[in-house]
Structure 1
Amino acid sequence: MPDGASGSPFPVLLREDRGAVATLALNRPAARNGLSLSLLDALHSELEGIAADSTVRCVVIRAEGPVFCAGHDLKEITAHFGDPDGGHAFFSDSMARCARVMQAIPALPQPVIATVQGLATAAGCQLVAACDLVIAAEEARFCTPGVEIGLFCSTPAVPLSRAVPRKAAMEMLLTGEPIGAEEARRIGLVNRIVPRDVLDEAAAELAAGIAGRSAFAVQLGKRTFHRQAGLPLEEAYALAAAAMVENLLAEDAAEGIGALLEKRAPEWRHR
């Protein structure tokens, strides 16, 4: 999809499939990969297609250029301050489209890995926090700086507050100060830190490892993980126990247990 916000003829989102891994690359480097409506729509469209594609077993989200994502496209937003309604309709539509993408990521059957090479700010940090796993370059930075311009990052706070301890999230939201990759890992926003020149290779290796597992077990596990996280303890255990029973009755569980006992590699049927 071309970039309607800037008039660029280049697609705002690139996709590359290698084996069972689909890689989506934000491709608005000149606009610091800002989440324009065209980019949000392209992301949602690709995620919808991937959700229905059983040949894809893991997804990587990366970005072209030095910045991972600078959040919403502020030029696109400010262009609507002069609308008859002050921009209300456009802003509501923008937030709804963004929320649709951010909810599609945890709802996706396949695990999603974010690879962050540089700055991830505001809704860009939101995108990172929404992903299942995060690999960051040593120089990556993360922040929710909306408070500095009178615009509290309320929507980025949703996945951020679910990814890191609440007080850590509030400090990021109230100060707007960037944190480095090491601090992001310490609070749980980042899983792994690697040198920039091996970032894509590290992500590909992690994704391939996940894609090599039973797709049935991984997808059931991801779905159960996200569902139980918001439940009271007793309900969470009931949900998880039912998922374990469902998993034990699957062909791949019998194959995996048999392979372990027979000291051989399992042959997954993904069911």
Structure 2
Amino acid sequence: MSNDLLLRTDEDAIATLTLNAPASLNALSDAMLAALKAEFGRLSEDKGIRVVILKGAGKAFCAGHDLKEMQRGREAEDKGRAYFFDLFARCAEVMQMIPALPQPVIAEVHGIATAAGCQLVASCDMAVAAEGTRFGVNGVNIGLFCSTPMVALSRNVPRKIAFEMLTTGQFIDAARGCEVGLINKSVPAESLATETRALAGIVAKKLTDAVKIGKRAFYDQVEMTRAEAYDYAAQVMVENMLWRDTDEGISAFLEKRQPDWA
């Protein structure tokens, strides 16, 4: 399923979503946020999809919020206060849908990923970027501190790196993004689609329910104390161990054969 702003193609249990507003560098306009929310909602119920790839059409991955649209929001009697509250709440909802999806989501990044576009990369479970891609939370350069992108960024990279990016507005490249943990791989531009697809293909071959329970547990446990996380993770492991397909997977490994997963 697709619309003009957000294209979707499915192949080999992998859904590829393409932000399709190249003229605005795939800005997260009101319409784009609505399209993402709707598609993520559909994916959450789609048991045939095991991995999601998120990419951008044209010269860039995503340049963040649509500043022209935001400026029009100021024309309201309250100077945009209600609109801005609603906008950032809708954006936060979409960002939080990504880790909540049962499928791992991989960002395929090129060109630039700035402000809320960088937030989008940081919200994905994994990311592969073309060499030379630039990442920034550069709102401070126009007098707008990237407070909401900060939430995702500061949960991906070390605090001092995040704070430097937020307060200087300076960009980092893909190599540096890989060093600090914002992305998983920096690859030649001509290999970007192939490398991203290869990573998605590896994950897609795993036991779907194991990846699903593991993704949920991953995000749950990082918000807990260490002791709470171990208690919780042990419960998840027990549940996982009792599955028929896990029993089959272990037996197949011991018997040096491919598992017969239902």
Which interval holds the TM-score relative to the shorter structure? over 0.9
Q: Which runs of 5+ in 1 are unaligned?
A: 3-9
Alignment of 1:138-153 (within 5 A): 138-153=131-146
Query: Any idea what the Cα deviations from partners look like across 1:144-168, whole Å, max 9, x if unmatched?
Result: 0011111100000011111111111
- Does the CA contact (< 8 Å) of 1:62 and 1:114 recur in 2? yes
Using the alignment, how far apart are the partners of 2:110 and 2:86 within structure 1? 29
Aligned pair 1:75/2:68, yes or no?
A: yes
Q: Which runs of 5+ in 2 are unaligned?
A: none
Correspondence for 2:224: 231
Correspondence for 1:33: 26
Using the alignment, how far apart are the partners of 1:45 and 1:211 within structure 2? 23
Using the alignment, how far apart are the partners of 1:46 and 1:200 within structure 2? 21
Alignment of 1:18-29 (within 5 A): 18-29=11-22
Stretches of 4+ moved more than 6 A in 1? none
One-letter code aligned to 1:219: K
Task: Identify which range, 76-85 or 26-35, moves more after superposition.
Answer: 76-85
Aligned pair 1:262/2:255, yes or no?
A: yes
Aligned pair 1:167/2:153, yes or no?
A: no
Q: Give SS of 1:265's match.
A: coil
How far has the Cα of 1:80 moved from its partner? 1.7
One-letter code aligned to 1:38: A
Correspondence for 2:54: 61
Aligned pair 1:90/2:101, yes or no?
A: no
Using the alignment, how far apart are the partners of 1:140 and 1:84 within structure 2? 40
Aligned-residue CA RMSD (Å): 1.2
Correspondence for 1:129: 122
Aligned pair 1:180/2:191, yes or no?
A: no
Using the alignment, how far apart are the partners of 1:35 and 1:268 within structure 2? 40
How far has the Cα of 1:268 moved from its partner? 2.3
Correspondence for 1:218: 211
How far has the Cα of 1:76 moved from its partner? 0.4
Using the alignment, how far apart are the partners of 1:184 and 1:156 within structure 2? 16
Using the alignment, how far apart are the partners of 2:8 and 2:124 within structure 1? 17
Using the alignment, how far apart are the partners of 1:119 and 1:232 within structure 2? 36
How far has the Cα of 1:203 moved from its partner? 1.0
- Does the CA contact (< 8 Å) of 1:27 and 1:64 recur in 2? yes
How far has the Cα of 1:70 moved from its partner? 0.5
One-letter code aligned to 1:49: R
The TM-score, its normalising length taken from structure 2, stands at: 0.98
How far has the Cα of 1:267 moved from its partner? 2.5
- Does the CA contact (< 8 Å) of 1:67 and 1:118 recur in 2? yes
Correspondence for 2:200: 207
- Does the CA contact (< 8 Å) of 1:66 and 1:118 recur in 2? yes
Aligned pair 1:189/2:182, yes or no?
A: yes
Using the alignment, how far apart are the partners of 1:79 and 1:264 within structure 2? 62
Using the alignment, how far apart are the partners of 1:194 and 1:177 within structure 2? 22
How far has the Cα of 1:24 moved from its partner? 0.4
- Does the CA contact (< 8 Å) of 1:213 and 1:268 recur in 2? no
